């Protein structure tokens, strides 16, 4: 992970150095404080949609817990974007956030597995849309053709991961149960509970479908936020082109899931892919810079509040003991 992070930093330095950091900052400054605040509020709203997607497959939990599930998603993203834990660390922390809320453990883990599956399926649909748009709009462009193998390869990796994740859920739970029972006698019951909860959730297909649609809305909503930022910067780009651009950026970020915050990958991707959709390199990098600033403005307070909550729980546990 350290080597990957260093490689990502090198890519980021190359991207900003080749375009000119001063020109990128100048373009980003066109957003203004009001526009940036609007962007942050829009992103917080997207967390509400993603929290609803998770809650939709946590069958048995009331709608009044929407705030808790949205908060868990916000913490997950903040940890993945700002702390050196990669996406996997963010997932672990996001799940842990709900474990202390009195929700049955088996329901949290099972609903998380289903939510991850529907999230990846929604991203795949969004990515295929982006590829179709790219091929339709840029079929004659040689520069686009040079990037096509990279984007298609990233999509293939996403498809493979989604298939393996979906097909391996039950066998993996069975294997994990046997290993846990060997080292921790009695833990097999917990694995059985998760498997039973999974079967219960998948039997309610309309809830799984609803979760998928909400996750798809989350991807689209995030991309629309980027389109608004690009327009505030003065970029003449249609919403369809922005959706296509963002779907391809998300794909390349997903392939780099082991790099914390996809450092460098996001910047290099914007510098290379942005011009294909008529976005100047400095404007594309300014969007990436705005996203990083948004991650800090929203994610840093989230992490601080989360840590304060963890400290309070430790103090309470110590007093109780």
| pTM of the model as a whole | 0.81
Question: Is residue 253 exposed (0-12), middle (13-18) or buried (19+ Cβ within 10 Å)?
Answer: middle
Query: Residue 154: which of 226, 251, 221, 61 has the closest Cα?
Result: 251
**Tell me, what's the pLDDT at 313?**
74
CA distance 48 to 92: 19
Q: What is the pLDDT of residues 45-75, one digit of tens each?
A: 999 999 999 999 999 899 999 999 999 999 9
**Tell me, what's the pLDDT at 210?**
94
**Tell me, what's the pLDDT at 180?**
39
Residue-wise DSSP of 1-44: -HHHHHHHHHHHHHHHHHH-HHHHHHHHGGGHHHHHHHHHHHHH
**Tell me, what's the pLDDT at 70?**
95
Residue-wise DSSP of 158-175: HHHHHHHHHHTHHHHHHH
**Tell me, what's the pLDDT at 58?**
92
**Tell me, what's the pLDDT at 190?**
55
- pLDDT-flagged residues of the chain (< 50): 172, 175-189
**Tell me, what's the pLDDT at 183?**
36
**Tell me, what's the pLDDT at 182?**
42
**Tell me, what's the pLDDT at 24?**
82
**Tell me, what's the pLDDT at 6?**
67
């Amino acid at each position: 992970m350290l080597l990957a992070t260093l490689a990502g930093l090198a890519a980021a330095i190359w991207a900003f150095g080749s375009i000119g950091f001063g020109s990128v900052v100048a373009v980003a400054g066109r957003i203004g404080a009001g526009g940036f605040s609007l962007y942050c509020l829009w992103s917080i709203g997207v967390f509400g949609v993603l929290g609803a997607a998770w809650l939709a497959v946590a069958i048995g939990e009331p709608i009044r817990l929407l705030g808790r599930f949205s908060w868990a998603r916000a913490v997950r993203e903040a940890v993945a974007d700002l702390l050196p834990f990669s996406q996997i660390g963010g997932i672990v922390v996001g799940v842990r956030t709900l474990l202390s809320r009195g929700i049955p453990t088996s329901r949290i883990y099972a609903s998380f597995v289903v939510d991850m599956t529907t999230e990846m399926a929604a991203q795949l649909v969004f990515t295929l849309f982006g590829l179709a748009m790219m091929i339709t709009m840029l079929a004659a462009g040689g520069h686009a053709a040079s990037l096509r193998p990279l984007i298609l390869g990233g999509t293939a990796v996403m498809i493979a991961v989604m298939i393996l994740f979906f097909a391996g859920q039950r066998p993996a739970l069975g294997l994990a149960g046997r290993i846990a029972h060997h080292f921790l006698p009695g833990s097999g019951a917990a694995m059985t509970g998760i498997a039973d909860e999974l079967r219960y959730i998948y039997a309610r297909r309309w809830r799984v479908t609803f979760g998928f649609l909400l996750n798809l809305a989350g991807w689209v909503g995030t991309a629309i936020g980027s389109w608004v930022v690009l327009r505030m910067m003065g970029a003449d780009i249609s919403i369809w082109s922005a959706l296509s651009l963002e779907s391809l950026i998300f794909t390349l970020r997903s392939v780099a899931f082991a790099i914390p915050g996809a450092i460098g990958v996001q910047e290099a991707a914007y510098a290379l892919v942005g011009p294909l959709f008529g976005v100047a390199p400095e404007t594309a990098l300014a969007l990436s810079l705005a996203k990083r600033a948004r991650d800090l403005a929203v994610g840093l307070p989230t992490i601080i509040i989360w840590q304060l909550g963890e400290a309070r729980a430790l103090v309470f546990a110590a007093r109780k003991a």
